[in-house]
Chains A and B, each alone.
Chain A
Amino acid sequence: MPDLARVSSPPVSEPVVIELRGVRAGYDGRTVIDNVDLTVRRGEFVALVGANGAGKSTLLKVIVGLLRPYEGSVSVLGSAPGTSARRLAYLPQAETVHWDYPLRVEDVVLMGRVAHAGPGRGPSSVDRDAARSALGRVQADDLMQRPIQALSGGQRQRILLARTLASDPELLLLDEPATGVDPATEEQLMSLLGDLASHGRTVLVSTHDLASVMAHFPRVLAMNGGIVADGDASILRDDAILRRTYGGHRPGAPQHIADEHHA
């Protein structure tokens, strides 16, 4: 696994993969995010940060096509959201998954290939190879036949990630993929995702771990009811931005504490 601390931003000549203009979205009539303008190009590796309820998941769902915005335009992979489902992969926050089902890890990873398959066809050898290699990339190939009921939280996250990888997507959207995962595994996940980005996939990740963001991500979106700031990792050292993002709460990022004394 390449040991990259940070991925550099791709040149501006890369095609636009995600385009949002003036988007307002939410649930049951409530507005969660407003005035969202966003352009993401192919190969970008973007972190979404913000407090709970800031709208990170909402934004991801709008891009995936699970949530239709009240206002604004959305274009994903050149067409309306939801229409390019096969070319993207979405890792939701893991609550709605039924880990008590009698399935093996391989079965779950193969689900990532279902959209590729026609009706009534079982998994092909191509599918199984894709599953095996996806599991390998998350360092879980020894888990292939394990029943999912026996997995730890971190292993579950890796399995779901393998599922998204198995579908070989152009665009990956991950909602807090490092939840319940130990720091070492998290480090590996972020490196893996960064590696995908540098090989032409576009990756958006929402996360709480600001240290990890600063270590890996060339672009950060700070969110709080919309996009508060959009730039490289240095925005996380900006007091004003942090205040607007976290409403005055300052997470203990190492560089930040050092800078605080200079302000």
Chain B
Amino acid sequence: MPDLLEPLQYAFVQRALLAAVLVALVCASVGVFVVLRGLAFLGDAIAHAAFPGVVIAFLVKINIVIGGSIAAVASALAIGAVARRSGLKEDTAIGVVFSGMFAIGIVLFSSIRTYTGDLLGILFGDVLGVSADQLMVAAITAAVVLVALWIIWRQLVFVSFDPIGAAAAGLSTVRYDTLLLGLIGLAIAVSVQIVGVVLVVAMLVTPAATARLLAQDLRALVVGALLVAVLSSVAGIWLSYYINAASGGTIVLVATTLFGLVWTGRTIARSRVAAA
């Protein structure tokens, strides 16, 4: 039995754990709305569309969370605007835009021929390289997201549950949707460091989806999502240490496994009830 406390003695593992927990908190709370409102595709699109901005931030050597935040929020708002105004069916327009932006990022990156090594880090996460500075910026951004979410929570729930009723009650659907998209963008920016552009949608969706399987009310959904997310992050980092695998992928794998277990358990429980 390996010494389970062994990884903790390294400062870089401590930082990685902290960063992963931040990602878990921020993504799970925003993820509640992503799951309830069916925004998974949109979330993935925002992450991909933010990629060229992240590349630029990386090349110009701005802190990647700051640069990434600007890119992700800008993408989120742009994609939101496309979704609202598009003449084509919504997801077609979004699909064209985000894959085009992603391709711009790839072309940009490959044209700067001297920096190849860190593309993997942006795409799949580079949690071991998190510096204290990056952690600080990530923490501040996460705090901003969580506070903002707390402030607009009730209104956002209303607007999501019954947009017409909420509009009639004086809540601007456009304003709250835009705010939500901006918060999704910031959550993505914080998470790109840990899990990368490609997997960040999993952090938004999987923990909240798992909690949704069991939750009877909103509070249970939020608490459940946060628990699953934090558990996945911590277990994922630990596991990746011992099996020598990429940390971002391991975290997502743990979260997905949890989803699978809960889903299977629920299906079995329901068939028992049905048979009885």
A–B proximity contact (CB within 8 A): yes
Which residues of the partner chain A approach B56 to less than 8 Å between Cβ atoms?
A: none
Q: Which of B155, B163, B215 sits near A102, CB closer than 8 Å? A: B215
Which residue on chain A has the smallest CB distance to residue B158?
A111
B168-A90 in contact (CB<8A): yes
Which residues from 160 to 215 on chain B have a C-beta closer than 8 Å to any C-beta of chain A?
Answer: 160-171, 212, 215
- Chain B interface main SS type: helix
A65-B163 in contact (CB<8A): no
Q: Which of A101, A107, A120, A160 sits near B150, CB closer than 8 Å? A: A120
How far, in whole Å, are A79 and B160 apart by their CA atoms in the complex? 28
User: What range describes how many residues of B lie at the interface?
Assistant: 20 to 34
User: What range describes how many residues of A lie at the interface?
Assistant: 20 to 34
Which residue on chain B has the smallest CB distance to residue A111?
B158
Which residues of the partner chain B approach A119 to less than 8 Å between Cβ atoms?
A: 151-152, 155
Total of A-B residue pairs, C-beta within 8 Å: 87
**Smallest distance from the beta carbon of B229 to chain A beta carbons, Å?**
17
A103-B217 in contact (CB<8A): yes
Whether B64 is near chain A, meaning CB under 8 Å from some CB there, is: no
Stretch at the interface among A16-24, A91-99, A215-223, A255-263: A91-99
How far, in whole Å, are A82 and B166 apart by their CA atoms in the complex? 12
Whether B119 is near chain A, meaning CB under 8 Å from some CB there, is: no
Q: Which of B162, B168, B217 sits near A98, CB closer than 8 Å? A: B162
B161-A102 in contact (CB<8A): no
How far, in whole Å, are A114 and B166 apart by their CA atoms in the complex? 9
Which residues of the partner chain B approach A88 to less than 8 Å between Cβ atoms?
A: 168
Which residues of the partner chain B approach A80 to less than 8 Å between Cβ atoms?
A: none
B165-A120 in contact (CB<8A): no
A residues with a Cβ closer than 8 A to B are 64-66, 82, 85-86, 88-92, 96-98, 101-104, 107-108, 111-112, 114-115, 117, 119-120, 122-123, 147, 160, 163, 167
Give 20 A-B pairs besides A66-B167, A101-B160 with Cβ atoms closer than 8 angstroms.
Answer: A82-B170, A88-B168, A89-B169, A90-B168, A92-B164, A97-B162, A101-B36, A101-B218, A102-B217, A102-B218, A103-B157, A107-B218, A111-B169, A114-B154, A114-B169, A115-B170, A117-B154, A120-B151, A120-B153, A147-B217
B residues with a Cβ closer than 8 A to A are 36, 150-155, 157-158, 160-171, 212, 215-218, 220-221
